[in-house]
């Protein structure tokens, strides 16, 4: 069963999807097999021999009617995600696929900066790393987070996907499509504009890194990611630690209050990034 | 124990699937033809969820280190035991040291090799299904290779040898394939003419038809099936784009061409999904070969539920007959 709460992306639609799916899980409805919130919608997999779809629709209407976002809060994890913007690996990949791009003469960063009205990649990177992003969906492949930047709508970056998807993307690439930043958890095909690469993993199948003790996937919907610009030296240092399985992720916590965020977005996101200090 | 001498084109350990992890992007995996997988298990005395080997187009060459009972169901790959042909959809006794081998499939795309006691690899997150993309489940999370050795479980198989199913329960993979679909999801993105075109077109299974998805070809302008609109915020510029959302297994996504998502599905993305292939017919579609044609037949949710109940009841009867 697929429930589309809104055709356009907004934090209101996403928080509602998160709140409803959290309540579906809490009610432990017999017959429910999968509960998957997404950006502005959610997906349930159920056994129709246990619960008839009409019964389930009634229960979901009931749950949705009881959701009050002004009272909905959660303990959000704040994850520090270092990024080497304009890194050599994604640059090599994107140069191989210029004929599939809207602007074969520019890099993905140059193109994205220009169509969003920035003077160039430097100013664009500052904006992308300048405010945190919320994880609004996990999927496509295991561990891949979609994140939506926590700024007012008029400051949101918007970039189309490639005209034709690439057949290759390096793992840990930081890409952008529509209004979402994604971190590619595994190498593979992809159509998002490539901005950089993070030295940290979001998927650890063997759960060797300490941050993955409970799950092979790090990001969850409702988590907040702070993309932090690093230089090559810091990238290499962190990467070495990750490969040695002794990297300690910098993770903070905040009791996230949507109302506070909606009313004072900039002050609120400053408080969020402070918990990482 | 089973020893793989030749791996075949793509042979993996599969079962009824791994559930409860869709929200982290993990599809269920498992046998893409659940009918053939389950019948093969019942024939050798296993329950439905025992692991079998899923063989694709060309089966492996397998040596049995101990005597046991095996059954091959699904696509017809002319199995032979030490060079002697053996029947399919039948429980066959093998002696220790014997070799089972296969030819290229003449009909259907996938066969299932069940062994008494099941393939007993270590379950991961509650399932032995292989998901090769991230390398979990099955044997080392990958397709089988020459030299692999797979443990098998123990079970009572006395009296089951020679068991077989009636011809009425053996699908005809060469027949015209009509696949039942519940339209819905984002099908409001299609015009009425667009929906009709999707349902009236004879689609050809492309060369890219695997456990992730079946890409279908036809001379149809996919963009032309969509309702023109100003794209909503976050959806991306293409008319076929939506704000990235979850894709059900079996859903048809319109990514330049229709792609029916199978059991190793990508769990979400930004293309409009317009309907879902009903669960019994996903098994049928999984036997569709590249260059064969399929058509879609729209059914209501109630019709889909009835078809599902019939499918389950049929397998329950076969289980009762074969396992008692």
- Identify all chain B residues contacting A40, using CB atoms and an 8 Å cutoff: 234, 243, 245
pLDDT at B177: 87
Distance set, CA A120 to CA A107, A162, A174, B157 (Å): 11, 20, 18, 72
**CATH number, domain containing residue B273:** 2.40.100.10
Supply A122's token pair. Answer: 């430097």
**Where among B121, B147, B170 does a domain terminate?**
B170
> What is the average per-residue pLDDT within A59-67?
96
Predicted pLDDT of residue B159: 84
Interval A8-37: pLDDT, tens: 999 999 999 999 999 999 999 999 999 999
Residues B274 and B162 in one domain: no
Distance from CA of B21 to the nearest CA of A (A): 7
- For residues B140 and B231, state if they share a domain: no
User: Containing H/E element for B251?
Assistant: strand B251-254
Mean pLDDT value across residues B189-198? 98
My answer on whether B184 and B138 are in the same domain is: no
Give all strands of the β-sheet with B61-64 in edge-to-edge order.
B84-85, B80-81, B99-101, B61-64, B2-6, B149-150
Same-domain status, B67 and B147: yes
pLDDT band, residue B155 (cuts 50/70/90): confident
Query: B71: part of which helix (H) or strand (E)?
Result: strand B68-76
Q: A143 to chain B: which residues are within 8 Å by CB?
A: 24-25
Euclidean distance between CA atoms B216 and B277, whole angstroms: 14
Q: Are residues B157 and B218 in the same domain?
A: no
Over range B287-315, report the average pLDDT.
97
Does residue B137 share a domain with residue B10? yes
Cα–Cα dist B279/B251, whole Å? 10
B25, A141: Cβ pair inside 8 Å? yes
Report how far residue A195's alpha carbon sits from residue A91's, in angstroms, rounded to the nearest whole number: 8
Q: How far apart are CA B81 and CA B92, in angstroms?
A: 10
CA distance B314 to B38: 11
What pLDDT band is residue A164 in, cutting at 50, 70 and 90? Answer: confident
Same domain, B163 and B84: yes
Q: Which two tokens stand for residue A102?
A: 């809207």
Looking at the structure, tell me whether residues B159 and B191 fall in a common domain.
no
Q: By CA distance, what is A216's nearest residue in B?
A: B24
Residue A5 DSSP code: S
Residue B138 has which token pair? 């099955």
| Structural tokens at position A132 | 């945190």
Distance CA B96, CA B77 (A): 22
Alpha-carbon gap, residue B278 to B149, rounded angstroms: 36
Residues of chain B neighbouring A167 (CB-CB closer than 8 A): none
Contact A10 B20 (CB under 8 A): no
Tell me the C-alpha distance between B107 and B186, whole Å.
34
Check if the beta carbon of residue B63 is closer than 8 Å to that of residue B142.
no
Residue B297 has pLDDT above 80, yes or no: yes
User: What whole-number distance in Å separates Cα of residue A13 and Cα of residue A16?
Assistant: 5
C-alpha–C-alpha distance, residues B46 and B50, integer Å: 6
> Could you tell me if B12 and B153 lie in one domain?
yes
Q: What is the CA angle A160-A165-A166, rounded to 5?
A: 120
Domain boundary pick from B153, B170, B187: B170
**CATH of the structural domain A2-69, one choice from 3.30.1360.40, 3.40.190.10, 3.90.1150.10, 3.30.1330.10:** 3.30.1360.40
pLDDT at B174: 80
The domain tally of chain B equals: 2
Q: At what angle do helices B279-286 and B301-323 cross, to 10 degrees?
A: 70
* Strand B149-150 with B213-217, pairing: unpaired
Superfamily of domain A75-274: Cyclophilin-like (2.40.100.10)
Query: Residue B112: pLDDT above 80?
Result: yes
Q: What is the mean pLDDT of residues B135-146?
A: 98
The predicted pLDDT at position A178 comes to: 93
End position of a domain, from candidates B136, B170, B204 = B170
CB B269 within 8 A of CB B294: no
Instruction: Give the model confidence (pLDDT) of B269-288 as tens digits.
Output: 999 999 999 999 999 999 99
Band of pLDDT at residue A277, cut at 50, 70 and 90: confident
User: Which pLDDT value is given to residue B256?
Assistant: 86
**Within-domain flag for B199:** yes
* Structural domain containing residue B128: 2-170
Size of interface A-B (CB pairs under 8 A): 149
**In the predicted model, what is the mean pLDDT of chain B?**
96
Chain A CB contacts of B269 below 8 Å:
140
> Are both B13 and B138 inside the same structural domain?
yes
Residue A112 pLDDT level (bands cut at 50, 70, 90): very high
Out of A194-198, B30-34, B151-155, B193-197, pick the least confident: B151-155
DSSP A153: G
Q: Give the span between the Cα atoms of A104 and A91, in whole angstroms.
A: 13
Question: Quick check: is B122 in a domain?
Answer: yes
Average pLDDT over residues B251-277: 96
Residues B34 and B142 in one domain: yes
Cα distance between residue A111 and residue A76, in whole Å:
33
B136 falls within a domain: yes
Residue B35 lies in a domain: yes
Distance CA B20, CA A117 (A): 43
d(CA A66, CA A73): 15
Confirm if A147 and A129 have CB atoms less than 8 A apart.
Answer: no
Please, what is the angle between helix A108-115 and helix A121-130, to 10°? Answer: 80
Distance in angstroms (rounded) separating the CA atoms of residues A135 and A225 = 7
Alpha helices of B231-300 — where are they, by DSSP H?
279-286
pLDDT higher than threshold 80 for residue B254? yes
Q: Find chain B residues with C-beta within 8 A of A216's C-beta.
A: 24
User: Contact A89/A166 with Cβ under 8 angstroms?
Assistant: no
Q: Which residue has the tokens 């890099």?
A: A107
Q: How far apart are CA A81 and CA B320, in angstroms?
A: 55
* Domain spans, chain A: 2-69, 75-274
Are residues B18 and B153 both part of a single domain?
yes
The verdict on residue B220 lying in a domain is yes
Structural element, H or E, at residue A42: strand A41-46
Do the domain assignments include residue B195? yes
Q: Please tell me the total number of residues recorded for chain B in this structure.
A: 324
Q: Which residues contact A229 (CB under 8 A, 6 or more apart)?
A: A82, A83, A85, A125, A129
Residue B236: phi and psi, rounded to 5, are 95, 165
Q: Are the beta carbons of B232 and A143 separated by less than 8 Å?
A: no
Best CA proximity match to A250, nearest among A275, A213, A271, A267: A275
Give ipTM to 2 decimals: 0.95
Give the pairing of strands B258-261 and B293-298.
Answer: unpaired
- A178 vs B266: CB contact, 8 Å cut-off? no
Alpha helices in B56-127 (DSSP H): none
The nearest CA of chain A is from the CA of B136 a distance in Å of 8
Q: Does B315 touch chain A (CB under 8 A)?
A: no
CA gap B133, B153 in Å, rounded:
26
Does B323 map to a domain? Answer: no
| Whether A180 and B268 lie within 8 Å, measured CB to CB | no
pTM (predicted TM-score):
0.96
């Amino acid at each position: 069963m697929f429930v589309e709460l809104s055709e356009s992306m907004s934090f209101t639609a996403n928080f509602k999807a998160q709140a409803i799916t959290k309540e579906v899980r809490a009610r432990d409805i017999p017959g429910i097999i999968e509960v998957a919130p997404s950006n502005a919608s959610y997906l349930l997999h159920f056994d129709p021999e246990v619960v008839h779809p009409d019964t389930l629709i009634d229960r979901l209407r009931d749950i949705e009617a009881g959701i009050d976002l002004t009272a909905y809060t959660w303990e959000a994890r704040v994850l520090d995600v270092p990024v080497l913007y304009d890194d050599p690996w994604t640059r090599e990949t994107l140069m191989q696929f210029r004929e599939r791009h809207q602007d074969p003469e520019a890099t993905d960063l140059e193109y994205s900066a220009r169509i969003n009205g920035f003077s160039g990649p430097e100013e664009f990177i500052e904006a992308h790393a300048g405010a945190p992003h919320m994880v609004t969906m996990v999927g496509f492949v295991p561990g891949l987070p979609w994140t939506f930047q926590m700024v007012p709508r008029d400051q949101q970056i918007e970039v189309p996907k490639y005209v034709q998807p690439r057949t290759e993307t390096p793992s840990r690439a930081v890409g952008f499509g529509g209004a979402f930043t994604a971190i590619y958890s595994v190498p593979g095909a992809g159509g998002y504009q490539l901005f950089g690469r993070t030295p940290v993993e979001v998927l650890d199948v063997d759960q060797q890194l300490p941050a993955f003790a409970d799950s092979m996937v790090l990001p969850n919907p409702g988590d907040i990611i702070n993309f932090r610009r690093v230089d090559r030296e810091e990238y290499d240092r962190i990467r070495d630690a990750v490969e040695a399985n002794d990297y300690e992720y910098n993770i903070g916590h905040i009791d996230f209050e949507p109302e506070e965020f909606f009313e004072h977005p900039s002050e609120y996101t400053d408080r969020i990034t402070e918990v990482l200090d | 124990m089973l020893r793989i001498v030749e791996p075949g084109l793509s042979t993996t350990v599969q079962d009824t699937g791994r559930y409860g992890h869709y929200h982290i992007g993990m599809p269920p995996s498992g046998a893409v033809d659940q009918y053939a997988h389950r019948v093969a298990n019942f024939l050798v005395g296993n329950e439905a969820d025992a692991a079998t080997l899923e063989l694709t187009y060309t089966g492996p060459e397998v040596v049995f280190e101990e005597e046991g009972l095996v059954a091959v169901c699904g696509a017809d790959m002319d199995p032979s035991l030490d060079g002697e042909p053996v029947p399919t959809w039948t429980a066959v006794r093998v002696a220790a040291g014997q070799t089972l081998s296969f030819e290229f499939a003449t009909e259907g795309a996938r066969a299932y090799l069940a062994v008494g006691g099941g393939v007993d690899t270590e379950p991961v997150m509650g399932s032995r299904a292989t998901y090769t993309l991230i390398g979990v489940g099955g044997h080392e999370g990958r397709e089988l290779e020459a030299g692999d050795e797979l443990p098998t479980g123990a079970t009572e198989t006395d009296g089951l040898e020679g068991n077989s199913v009636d011809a009425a329960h053996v699908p005809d993979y060469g027949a015209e394939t009509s696949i039942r679909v519940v339209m819905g999801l984002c099908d409001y993105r299609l015009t009425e003419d667009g929906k009709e075109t999707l349902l009236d077109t004879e689609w050809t299974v492309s060369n890219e038809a695997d456990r992730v998805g079946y890409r279908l070809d036809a001379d149809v302008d996919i963009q032309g099936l969509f309702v023109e609109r100003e794209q909503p915020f976050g959806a991306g510029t293409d008319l076929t784009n939506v704000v990235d959302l979850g894709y059900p297994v079996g859903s048809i996504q319109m990514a330049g061409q229709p792609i029916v998502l199978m059991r190793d599905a990508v769990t979400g993305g930004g293309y409009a999904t317009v309907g879902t292939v009903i669960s019994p017919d996903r098994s049928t579609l999984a036997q569709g070969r590249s260059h064969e044609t399929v058509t879609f037949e729209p059914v209501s949710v109630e019709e889909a539920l009835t078809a599902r109940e019939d499918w389950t009841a049929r397998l329950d009867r076969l289980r009762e007959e074969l396992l008692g």
